[in-house]
Amino acid sequence: MRVITGIARGRKLKTPDGLEVRPTSDRTKESIFNIIQFDIEGRRVLDLFAGSGQMGIEALSRGAAGAVFVDIRRECIDLIRENLGRTEFDSMSQVRQEDYRAYIKRAGKGSFGLIFLDPPYGERLLASAISMIMRRDLLCPGGLMVCEGEKNESLPDGVFPYEKGREYIYGKTKITVYLRKQEAI
C-alpha cells in the first residue's frame, strides 16, 4: 500500500496483519480521491475506523489542513502513528484510541470538512455511524462524508442538511458520498 499522489507520493504505508482490518485497495482509493479531488485542500479530516490511516494520510498528502484518526484497536493506533511518521504528517494529526460512538459524542458541531468511514464489514457499524454523525452535525457546510461498505448494505437517506449522493460499486465494495448542504438563509 502506498500514498498515491501529493507531497508524500509513493511513500509506502504499513498494513495490519490478519483479516480483522481490510485496507482499501489502491484502485478503490484512487477512485474515491478522483471523486472528491476538489474537496480536500484546506479541510480538516476525520478518518473514523482508521485502520492503517491510509485514507486520512492520502488526504493530508493532497493538501488537507489536518486530520484526526480514530480506531479502537491498539495495534491500529500504533500502525497509524508509524505511518504518520513515515509520511511526516505527525504534527498535522491527532490519533485517538476510542470507540467511534464515544468520539462522535465528544466531537464538536461542524468540526470537519471531510469524513472517511470504513468500519469492519459484517458488524453493521456503518449505518449507525452515519446516523450519529448527521444527528451530531459533525460536518461543516459544504462538507463531505465518504462511506465504504459492503455492496448490498443499505445506508440511511440524508436528513437535512445532509444529502445522500451517488453510490459507486467496486467489486464487493460500495462507496457512498454524503454532502452537508449550506444552510438556508
Q: How far apart are the first and last CA of the chain?
A: 45
Overall domain count for the chain: 1
- In this predicted model, what pLDDT tens digit does every residue of 100-118 receive, in sequence order? 999 999 999 999 999 999 9
Residue 185 lies in a domain: no
Range of the domain at 40: 27-180
pTM of the model: 0.93
In the three-class reduction of DSSP (H, G, I as helix; E, B as strand; rest coil), residue 12 is classed as strand
List of residues 6+ apart from 108 with CB closer than 8 A: 138
How is residue 7 written as a grid cell? 507531497
Residue 20 lies in a domain: no
* CATH code for the domain in which residue 80 is found: 3.40.50.150
pLDDT of residue 120: 86
- In this predicted model, what pLDDT tens digit does every residue of 4-31 receive, in sequence order? 999 999 999 998 776 455 667 778 889 9
| CB atoms inside a 10 Å sphere around CB 163 | 13
